Each structure stands twice: as C-alpha cells, then as structure tokens.
Structure 1
Amino acid sequence: MTPSTADHAQDAQMSVEEFEELARHAPETVSLEFISGKLAVKHVPDQLHGAIVMWLLRQCMQHRPELALYPEQGLKVDSYRRGRARADGALAPLDHYVGQSGEWADPDGTLMVMEVTSYDADTDLRDRVEKRDGYAAAGIPVYLLVDRDAEKLVVYSEPDRGEYRTRTSHAYGSTVTLPSPVSITLETGRLKDYAG
C-alpha cells in the first residue's frame, strides 16, 4: 500500500522547502539529501570514489555520445517527489537538465543513476536502500550501484510501484551489459585498480 502525501509529510523531519533552504547554506565540505522524509549528510568523496565516477563517465561518452553522465546531479525523488537526492551520476540526454530551475531537477527523462559506496557508517542504508527505493519511486529505469565493499556492480532495473523488480550483481572484472534504455556494455577490469 502506498502512503498518502499527507502521511509521508507527517513523518518527515522537515518540509521540502525547509530542506532546500538548509541545503543552500550547507558548507562545501558536505552535501545534504532529503530521502524518505529524513535529512542525510553526504560527505565529500575520496579520490578513488571520484576515479570510479570518471571511469563510468568516460565509458558512457564512448558508447553513447548523445548522452551525458552528470556528476552530483540533484534530483527530486521518492514517493510523490518529496525527496531530494544528489546522485553521484545521472545519465540523461545531452543538455537534458538545462532550463530546469534550481539545483533539484525533475527525474523524468533520466535513464540511469549511479552511486558509488563510501566508507562511512551511513552508506549501507543510504546507497543500498533509501536512495535505491527513492530512485525506483521516481521511475528512473536503471540504478547502478558500485559497491566498493563487495567489489561488485549491482544493477537494478524495471521500476514498478516504488521497487526495482530486477537485480543483478557482477564482480569487478566482469562484462556488464546495462539494460535498456541505457544499453551500454561495461568492461569492468579497471575497477580492480580502484579496489582498496
């Protein structure tokens, strides 16, 4: 059963408007997210995290030059789009987010989001559960999780009623074909160099 907008807002720590005001004034050393009615702090990523994002960005550019992987893209997610997540990468047509006002874009037209796990206490709940569910609720077709703890890529697809119906897991070094509408094949051997 899907909660009503009123139920969701009642459980929230603050309103979306209050969150957006707070996020505008956050220091540069963190970025804030608002998922499932809860405030989350996302710390500045480490160098290997950035290298993984750049690796995927280059893969996307080589295979699908008409698309762009937007790093740190703010998206309206969650049930009724009352959440705000900053994806490590959001894959969409080139210039897709141009013209949207503010830093939180509508997710419609986003083909894939990707997250790279961090080595902090919140990554399990944030990247593996809350953001996954928020992206599914927003109808984003593919969620790619680069799980550095497990040294795997986890691909979620086919969002349906706030959940991804399909989940596949691939060890670093595997050939991974991302499902439609992404349709990119990744050779992931390079990720072994970023394990640590």
Structure 2
Amino acid sequence: MTVEQTEVTLEEFEAFDAAAPEGFHIELINGRVLMTPAPDGDHDENVVAIGLQIQAHEPTLHTYQERGLAVPAYRAGRARVDGAVAPLGYFRGQPSWSDPAGVLMVVEVTSGREQDADVDRVDKRDAYAQAGLQVYLLVDRHRGEAAVHWEPEGGRYLHVAKAAFGTKLALPEPFGFDLDTSELA
C-alpha cells in the first residue's frame, strides 16, 4: 500500500487545527499537516531548563513555550514550537500564529517514537532555516544530545554543533554562552 501526501492550503490547515482533538498539536510544515501528541513532563522540563539558563545570561529574554509561529518559506507554514526565545513582551498583541521576526532562537525537543524524531531533525530544521530563524536548538532525547544550528542561508543552516547530554554546548551569538546539558533528558 502506498500513502499519498497531499499538500494543503492555509485555509484547509486552519480547519484541521480548529477540529484537532484535545491533547494533540496540529502543525503545517512544508505543505504537510503534522499531528503530534501534547508533550510529556520531561519534555517540558527540558524547555524550562534551557529557558532558565538563557534568562540567567540575559534577563531581558524569555522562552515562550508552545508558541505558534507563522513560518513562511516557499510554502505557508505554521509551527507550534516547544520554545521561542524572544525579548520579554515580544508576543504582546500578536495573533496565535505569530510573526517569527523577533524570535532569536527556536527550541524543539524530540518526543514519541524514534522514527517520529526526523520531523524535528529535518522537517522543522529546514522550515526554520527557510523562515530565516537565526538559531535552532534541538534537544534529541533519542540520541542523548543537543544540537544547535545557526546562520540560515539559502534555506539551510550553515553551521551545526552538537553535545552529548551532560556536557556543554556553545551557543552562538546573540547568546554567546555554554549551555549546560546536564539537566536534559
């Protein structure tokens, strides 16, 4: 049996999003509708641990959890990011699918099954690069590592650095500090 993938319009996506069952997130990435279960506690704790470290180094920044971003690339997109790092107050007055222009970093944490992790490793990474988001941090629970991607150009990130959980990961500017991954799981 073959599965046919059909691209959907933004209007069709909005209908899917409105009808989504409770406990699921609906996203539109590169023309495909993705449905993922709501995150577990460890997932949330990873985002909080990263956010606290960022705020300790730069008190004017906040990590907003489960924020909807319009990620316009060559296709309209909508991503519900695990963490959106932006100046305090950036999202005030914005709609539920916000403009990502003021977002300094997007954080994603893998969840679910190993085979589902490629959505975060590849699909979302590429969508964020195409949208011009400067820094993408992936906490890959299946591989036991964190990876930071930065400097998007031509729809992809030019640089990537990885660190196993329990070690330090150097974050690029505008952060410029070593993220302690010992609390990530």
Note whether the superposition's TM-score is higher than 0.5. yes
Deviations, residues 38-80 of structure 1 (Å, cap 9, x unaligned): 0000211122111111111211221111011010111111414
Shift of 1:142: 0.5
Q: Distance in 2 between matches of 1:71 and 1:184?
A: 21
Q: Distance in 1 between matches of 2:145 and 2:110?
A: 11
User: Against the structure 1 CA distance between its residues 60 and 158, is the aligned structure 2 distance closer, same or farther, given a 3 Å change threshold?
Assistant: same
The answer for unaligned runs of 5 or more in structure 1 is: 1-10
Given that 1:154 and 1:169 are in contact with CA atoms closer than 8 Å, whether structure 2 keeps it comes out as: yes
Q: Distance in 2 between matches of 1:168 and 1:48?
A: 23
Once the two structures are aligned, what percentage of the paired residues are identical?
Answer: 43
**Matched residue type, 1:50:** D
Q: Distance in 2 between matches of 1:85 and 1:126?
A: 11
Deviations, residues 110-167 of structure 1 (Å, cap 9, x unaligned): 1000100112265333101110000000101100000111111111001001100101
2:109 to 116, 121, 124: 116
Pair 1:16-2:7 in alignment:
no
Q: Distance in 2 between matches of 1:122 and 1:71?
A: 24
Where 1:123 maps in the other structure, the secondary structure is helix
Count the aligned residue pairs: 181
| TM, length-normalised to structure 2 | 0.91
User: Against the structure 1 CA distance between its residues 81 and 69, is the aligned structure 2 distance closer, same or farther, given a 3 Å change threshold?
Assistant: farther
Partner residue in 1 for 2:133: 140
| TM, length-normalised to structure 1 | 0.86
Pair 1:99-2:93 in alignment:
yes
Given that 2:161 and 2:169 are in contact with CA atoms closer than 8 Å, whether structure 1 keeps it comes out as: no
Deviations, residues 82-133 of structure 1 (Å, cap 9, x unaligned): 01111100001111111112x1011101100010011226533310111000
**Matched residue type, 1:163:** R
Name the Cα RMSD after superposition. 1.6
Shift of 1:24: 2.3
Pair 1:30-2:24 in alignment:
yes
Deviations, residues 5-45 of structure 1 (Å, cap 9, x unaligned): xxxxxx86221122123212322210100001000002111
**Runs of 4+ off more than 6 Å:** none
Partner residue in 2 for 1:185: 178
2:143 to 114, 126, 150: 150
Where 2:158 maps in the other structure, the secondary structure is strand
Pair 1:129-2:114 in alignment:
no
Higher helix share: 1
Partner residue in 1 for 2:57: 63
The answer for unaligned runs of 5 or more in structure 2 is: none
Q: Distance in 1 between matches of 2:169 and 2:77?
A: 30
